[in-house]
Chain A
């Protein structure tokens, strides 16, 4: 159950777009459509931003989008806003019937 690979940090200016990658294998990200993304502000509960690779729950801004190519999933945030500054985690279902998170990416809005 190795963690999925995410960049430790990304940054962008207000109004810009950024993309966070999440790399796994054919036994997780590449093999199943159950990839989800979470926004986590320190001290608060994580928030579901994307499920099933590219679907947004109701109430999540359409500035957030998800995609996948092979065994790498991506979260793109367009029109960056100050409140987007947080930690972001991907998660995937695995062939072992378990779940695995990425190591997390700290987003800085400069």
Chain B
């Protein structure tokens, strides 16, 4: 059974940093692009960032470029999202998701984590 378990969320002050972790199991992690998607309260889904299967390519939404860094540890089946210079606009539920086909990017995500809440507030 595929599982994506996110951790690391919580309350952080404006300007602060947080690191999200997504632990994957039940599939060959090293062959899939991994993605972070977020949903702010009362808003729609927003694509945040993605990382290729090898980790050699990373992609970011304009809204987080320069502040967020995505990475992965293929030896531990884990993907990370380092979030710096956080503002209230980053308050959201963050989902990690797996591309549905191997070695592709952008075709769609067939498995999603449970979502983890990040709240940026003083």
Contacts and interface: CB of A to CB of B under 8 A. Distances in A.
A89 B115 contact: no
Nearest to A59: B110
Contact of A48 (B61, B95, B110, B114): B110
B46 A101 contact: yes
B59 A45 contact: no
B107 to A, nearest CB: 5
Interface in B94-117: 95, 97, 100, 105-110, 112-115
Interface string A10-29: 00000000000000000000
A6 to B, nearest CB: 9
Q: Bin chain A's interface residue count.
A: 20 to 34
Interface residues of B, number: 25
A57 B45 contact: no
B50 A99 contact: yes
Interface string A36-48: 1010100001111
Interface string B19-40: 0000000000000000101000
B107 A45 contact: no
Contacts of A38: 45, 109
Nearest to B95: A45
Interface in A86-106: 87, 89, 91, 93, 97-104
A-B residue pairs, 4 tightest by C-beta: A36-B108, A45-B112, A93-B106, A51-B108
Interface of A: 1, 3, 32, 34, 36, 38, 40, 45-48, 50-52, 57, 87, 89, 91, 93, 97-104
